[in-house]
């Protein structure tokens, strides 16, 4: 298959010859997706469909950082409000503020960033409202009917006094 096209052969016949030789040699056996229908073959796509599909398949973020940070901000605030304790809330908000400061201070692609850092104390106040502290349980009453036992005397003290 790495041979050069002969001078007298047309491109069409040369390509057909290469395909036929590959089929005889088993070059197309056991390919991924062999015998399966092509996905979305009848769907009309926009002009950038393949780029979007590649980005989705590779899990690449395709938004400019100045726009993506807005969605990250909302998601981080929601995650902080759902956190189990105040330490986790502080960690989530501190990490978010670090990313916001980075995007705001660096020249990146896309529109300029106007996202402000999040006030940790404001989020903590909202978290405290959503997660009230459990009320302290009153101490259980000790049984008053049982008399206290007399203090026990040690054997060596008994022997000295006798």
Is residue 136 within 8 Å of 91, Cβ to Cβ? Answer: no
Number of C-beta neighbours around residue 11 at 10 A: 8
Distances (CA, A) of 162 to 36, 58, 150: 103, 92, 20
What's the CA dihedral at 63, 64, 68, 69 to 10 degrees? Answer: 170
Instruction: List the structure tokens of 79.
Output: 């995650």
Q: What secondary structure letter does DSSP report for 110?
A: S
Opening angle at CA 92, ends 120 and 123, nearest 5 = 30
Q: Supply the pTM of this predicted model.
A: 0.53
Instruction: List the structure tokens of 96.
Output: 């978010």
Domain residue limits, the chain: 65-130
Residue-by-residue pLDDT tens, the chain, 162 positions: 567 888 888 888 889 999 999 989 988 888 888 888 888 788 888 898 888 889 889 988 778 888 889 999 999 999 999 999 999 999 999 999 999 999 999 877 778 888 999 999 999 999 999 988 777 777 666 656 666 776 776 666 666 655
């Amino acid at each position: 298959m790495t041979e050069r096209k002969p001078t007298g052969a047309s491109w069409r016949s040369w390509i057909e010859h290469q395909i036929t030789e590959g089929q005889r040699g088993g070059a197309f056996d056991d390919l991924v997706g062999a015998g399966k229908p092509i996905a979305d073959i009848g769907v009309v796509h926009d002009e950038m469909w393949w780029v979007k599909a590649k980005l989705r398949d590779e899990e690449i973020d395709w938004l400019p950082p100045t726009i993506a940070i807005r969605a990250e901000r909302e998601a981080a605030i929601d995650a902080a409000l759902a956190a189990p304790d105040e330490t986790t809330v502080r960690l989530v908000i501190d990490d978010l503020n670090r990313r916001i400061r980075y995007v705001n201070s660096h020249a990146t692609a896309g529109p300029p960033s106007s996202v402000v850092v999040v006030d940790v104390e404001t989020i903590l106040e909202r978290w405290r409202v959503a997660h009230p502290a459990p009320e302290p349980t009153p101490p259980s009453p000790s049984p008053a009917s049982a008399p206290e036992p007399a203090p026990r005397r040690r054997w060596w003290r008994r022997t000295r006094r006798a």
